């Protein structure tokens, strides 16, 4: 009996550190209407959109308004989560890009896994995707990056790098984020 109780306690502890993506399809509005709950963002024009199409699932997406970008700085969003150190994690998100009639779309999308080491963010894994390789129209591309968590925290990031020169046009859409452990 004692071993069954101990096993149950250990299993509950293991479940409590499973990585779990919050608001993975951006359906829940954050503190402002254009921000998704549980996600932080930086840069310009990385907004939660409820009226854009296509969507992969639900009715909301993250839309990067590339045609509005005036500077060369990147924009992005991220989420922090508790994980199990030593496990391999795969972060994925679906992307769709406009094929703008006027101007150039963004240059690339980077997916990154980070952790905190000695109080500083450190890259665990990173993968960059050219906009030329991202689906357009009503299709979606599944982008993913994998890495082994060195400790019990992991930050997943989506980074959009604008075209180096103008005119800038189009948008990039993101939906259906996921984290998977092996």
* Residue 42, number of CB atoms within 10 A of its CB: 13
Q: Determine contact, residues 172/105, Cβ cutoff 8 Å.
A: yes
Q: Determine contact, residues 91/145, Cβ cutoff 8 Å.
A: yes
In terms of pTM, does the model score above 0.75?
A: yes
- For the segment 93-116, the average pLDDT, to the nearest whole number, is 94
The pLDDT assigned to 103 comes to 86
Range of the domain at 34: 2-181
Look at the chain and report how many structural domains it folds into: 1
- Give the CATH number, domain containing residue 80: 2.60.120.260
Mention every residue, 6+ apart, whose C-beta is less than 8 A from residue 125.
Answer: 112, 113, 145, 146, 147
Per residue in 70-88, pLDDT (tens digit) is 999 999 999 999 999 999 9
Q: Which of 9-13, 131-135, 148-152 has the lowest mean pLDDT?
A: 9-13
Per residue in 31-53, pLDDT (tens digit) is 988 999 999 999 999 999 999 99
The rounded distance, in Å, linking the Cα atoms of 46 and 113 is 19
- For the segment 93-118, the average pLDDT, to the nearest whole number, is 94
The pLDDT assigned to 168 comes to 95
Q: Which of 9-23, 75-89, 119-133, 153-167 has the lowest mean pLDDT?
A: 9-23
């Amino acid at each position: 009996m004692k071993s069954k109780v101990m096993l149950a306690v250990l299993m509950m502890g293991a479940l409590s550190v499973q990585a779990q993506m919050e608001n993975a399809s951006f359906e829940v509005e954050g503190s402002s209407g254009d921000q998704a709950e549980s996600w932080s963002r930086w840069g310009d024009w990385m907004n939660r959109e409820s009226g854009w199409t296509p969507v992969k699932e639900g009715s909301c997406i993250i839309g990067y308004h590339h045609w509005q970008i005036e500077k060369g700085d990147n924009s992005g969003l991220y989420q922090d989560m508790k994980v199990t150190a030593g496990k391999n994690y795969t972060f994925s998100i679906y992307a769709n890009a406009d094929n703008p009639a006027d101007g150039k779309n963004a240059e690339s999308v980077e997916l990154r896994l980070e952790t905190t080491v000695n109080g500083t963010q450190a890259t665990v894994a990173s993968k960059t995707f050219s906009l030329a390789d991202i689906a357009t129209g009503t299709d979606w591309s599944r982008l993913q990056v994998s890495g082994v968590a060195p400790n019990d925290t992991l930050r997943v990031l989506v980074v959009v790098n604008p075209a180096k020169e103008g005119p800038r046009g189009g948008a990039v859409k993101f939906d259906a984020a996921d984290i998977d452990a092996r």
